[in-house]
Amino acid sequence: MAKSNHLKKLQFSLPSSWYFDSNFYDKELSELWMKNWIYLCHSSNLKNNLDFRTFSIGKQNIILIRNSHGKLLAFYNTCRHRGSLIVTETFGRLKSKLFTCPYHQWSYSSDDGKLAKVASFSEIPEGFCKENFSLYKIALKEWRGCIFINLSEKPIWDDASVFQRSPEGLKQHPIENMTCGKIWEKTLNCNWKSFWENFNECLHCPNVHPELTDLVPMFNRRIINPRDLPNWETKSEHSDPKYSGGLKKGAETWSDDGSAQGRIIETLGQDEILKGHVYASAWPSVFIGGYADHVRIVKINPIEPEKIKISAEWLFENETLKDKNYNKDNVISFACRVMEQDGKACELNQIGIHSKPHKQGVLMPEEYVIKNFHDWLKKQLKIKNYSDYKV
């Protein structure tokens, strides 16, 4: 029988200054966000050839394009002339195969990023070669329809290192064949780490999420895993969802009324349906939730030391979206309420950590995933002990 994951020894949280110090934030951007695989969006958001989207990671602006051959490519959104932004829209479709800089009209092929033409009327300087001035290409990986990029040199994709919470539980969800039916975005006044910490514990659930704890009775016990219960072994075969972790009796999915409206994903087995929800996490940028009738992908993007943007995509099977009797807002409004509640809690926490005497918090036994997150963070930043980096 597996043991509980509870923390056995006193563990302190990260220093408070790490959540608002601008120098530490810059260190995270350069050593963590610029070197890991970062989620951008689901591929269904670029359905047609020449569809594009732009994204920002810190001060790096990125173009994502499905070229004329249907291939997904990513480039830095930077003209090779004097550095201007090339694409100013957040999404759209090119009218031709060319990106054209709005400043001096240098044009680039959207198929491969090569420089197509310059707008100079004078003679081209001696030694100037178009082949040397292509757009800067970015490493891209499409994993089951989910588009990730990496801003480091020659990165290697490895599922085991990209996902800290394994995506194995999502294998029966047809993510790559689903379609995005809604995108929701919200700006929060908190540090990006605060949002991850909130996601990885449920001590806050009864007070912050009354609707969610009604839907998932185990969350009302302030835990995220059945093994977090005292003496959990004696209840390991218990079918009551407050012990097993599933949805309340009669509920099928995360929605306002708990109903999947007759659209349960056919590839799911009984085990997946009974669980009610399953998750995968790829720090620092995304978690993916699988439910009986849909998939929800939540992306975290840092804007400033104390400001982030979260965005959620809801994926549905095509037949579900075509079903006139299926109301996707039943699903979307429920999750939005939960995320709004989380956001408010994170913003309150962000204000509180500025207290002069509060230098560091402490973790409770159930917050073992937060401890794992902190260990991952310190490893990424090459910090062994909190005292090794002072601000």
Q: What is the pLDDT of residues 242-252, one digit of tens each?
A: 888 899 999 99
Q: What is the reported pLDDT for 167?
A: 97
pTM: 0.95
Q: Is the pLDDT of residue 2 over 50?
A: no
Distance, in Å, from the CA atom of 306 to the CA atom of 16, rounded to the nearest integer, reads 12
- The answer on pLDDT for 320 being more than 80 is yes
Q: Check pLDDT > 90 for residue 21.
A: yes
Q: Is the pLDDT of residue 77 over 90?
A: yes
Residue 310 has pLDDT above 80, yes or no: yes
Higher-confidence residue of 289 and 224: namely: 289
pLDDT at 341 > cutoff 80: yes
pLDDT tens digits, one per residue of 35-73: 999 999 999 999 999 999 999 999 999 999 999 999 999
Give residue 236's pLDDT band: very low, low, confident or very high (50, 70, 90): low
Q: Give 10 or 297, the one with higher predicted confidence.
A: 297
Predicted pLDDT of residue 242: 86
Q: What is the pLDDT of residues 343-364, one digit of tens each?
A: 999 999 999 999 999 999 999 9
| pLDDT greater than 90 at residue 93 | yes
Residue 67 CB partners (closer than 8 Å, separation 6+) = 49, 50, 73, 97, 110, 111, 112
> For the purposes of burial, counting CB atoms within 10 Å of the CB of 146, is it exposed (0-12), middle (13-18) or buried (19 or more)?
buried
pLDDT above 80 (res 1): no
Integer Cα distance of 259 and 247 in angstroms: 11
pLDDT of 4 reads 59
Encode pLDDT of 111-169 as tens digits.
999 999 998 767 778 888 989 999 999 999 999 999 999 999 999 999 999 999 999 99
Under a CB-based contact definition with an 8 Å cutoff, are residues 373 and 200 in contact?
A: yes
Report the percent of the chain where pLDDT is more than 90.
85
The residue ranking higher by pLDDT, 390 or 44, is 44
β-pairing verdict for 107-109 and 295-304:
unpaired
Tens digit of each residue's pLDDT (9 = 90 or more) over 186-212:
999 999 999 999 999 999 999 999 999
Q: Give the pLDDT score at 145.
A: 98
Compute the distance between CA of residue 34 and CA of residue 149 in angstroms, rounded to an integer: 10
Residue with tokens 């588009």: 147
129 within 8 A of 9, measured Cβ to Cβ:
no
Write down the mean pLDDT value for the chain: 94
Amino acid letter at 126?
A: E
pLDDT bin (cut points 50, 70, 90) of residue 234 is: low
pLDDT band at 235, cuts 50/70/90?
A: low
